[in-house]
Amino acid sequence: MISNTHPALAGSLRSTVPSDELINFSPGPTSLPKPVEKSIAASFSEPGLTSLALSHRSPEFLEILEHAVASARSVMGIPDNYEVLFTHGGGHGQFAALPLNLCHEASDVATYVVNGTWSLRGRDEASRYCDAQTIDGRDSSTGDYTSFPELTEVDIDAESRYIYLCSNETVNGIELHRLPKLPESRRHIPLVIDASSDFSTKPIDWEGAGVGVLFACASKNIGHPGVTMTIIRKDLLGEGKASPLCPGVFNYTTNSEADNLWNTPATFNIEVVGRVMDWIAGIGGVEELERRSIAKASALYEVIDASDGFYGTPVTDKRLRSRMNVPFNLMGGDVTLTERFLIESWNKGMVGLRTLTPFGVGDYLRASLYNGVTIENAVALADFMKQFAREHAA
């Protein structure tokens, strides 16, 4: 076994190659698209204060805030009957905010579709504030999350205040490329989406899918850590709808009525989201990003599937394979090969394929293919994987 003192094995993201040659495959926080990074850098040489120092109630910041909201609405096709909020606390904050806003009493029912690490964590947090019922997506024979369960009428309590799902499970490599349609008899129930890791990479049928709330942490596809975009259908807002225990900082109605200014928002982070949305519009919108996502993921999955078992990936149903996070192992998890792969790829400037998480390092490496990763970056990793397999296959 190779010594675990090598930086690559400790999760280092700073290789020995020049910084502009690094390719960051980290699951997040991750890199912004290069043109966005350059536009932010250029803004620091412009006259006047940057958003790092602007008062959140100054006319200069209000213009930034209004632009970020308008640009997101345009790029993501968000209808007028939805409110756009910039919220605090990341995804974990929304795990609590959702039941506190949509369930007035602790006895209110919410249905959670659990098909991976993050939906499980969201369900567990919600169970502190409501009656969180579960549609279990685990494989009955292995106990692993490798598919997405069917949403049937019998599994969804008609009194549910909402139905929750994660559209891309980053750890498990499962993605819903389009939101599911609920059974006809359950379409009155708002659909709640954790889209933290796939937001902006494909179109969203807001009204057709019955989306009630969608939230997305900024730090994977739309910006920096420290702000979350939370989009709420306006009929779910109103006095007396949230739990009386809901803190003001998490209360959707309170923050909507205050136009995102109930307390000091993450000013710089909001500006970055606006710049990312402008970049998306400039390259052709979410349709172009979806095309790129398909191309990036296909480059890696094709290598895995053609490797005659040298590489493996847990999700065999190609309709559910994540375009955002490609999990793979080497020879069923061979430790020595895996460590050699990590070191050699790190030496070439490909970092973030294994990072430390609250859940350990996991059974699989992961290549995360967010908006900051180009098609050329993904092809470079695919080429390295082919070369490595040729050199080390038995």
Residues catalogued as catalytic: 118, 194, 220
Exposure on the CB side of residue 65, measured as CA atoms within 13 A = 22
Say if residues 312 and 332 touch (Cβ distance below 8 Å). Answer: yes
β-strand pairing of 350-351 with 311-312: unpaired
| Residue 223 DSSP SS3 | coil
As a whole number of Å, the CA-based R_g of the chain is: 21
Q: Which residues contact 80 (CB under 8 A, 6 or more apart)?
A: none
What backbone phi and psi angles, to 5 degrees, belong to 364? -130, 150
H helices within 249-355, ranges in order?
252-257, 267-283, 285-305, 335-347
Say if residues 111 and 118 touch (Cβ distance below 8 Å). Answer: no
Say if residues 172 and 145 touch (Cβ distance below 8 Å). Answer: yes
The H or E element containing residue 37 is helix 34-43
3-state helix vs strand vs coil in the chain, percent to 5: 35, 15, 45
Angle at 33 between CA 29 and CA 36, to 5 degrees: 110
Among residues 325, 95, 298, 83, the alpha carbon closest in space to that of 193 is found at: 95
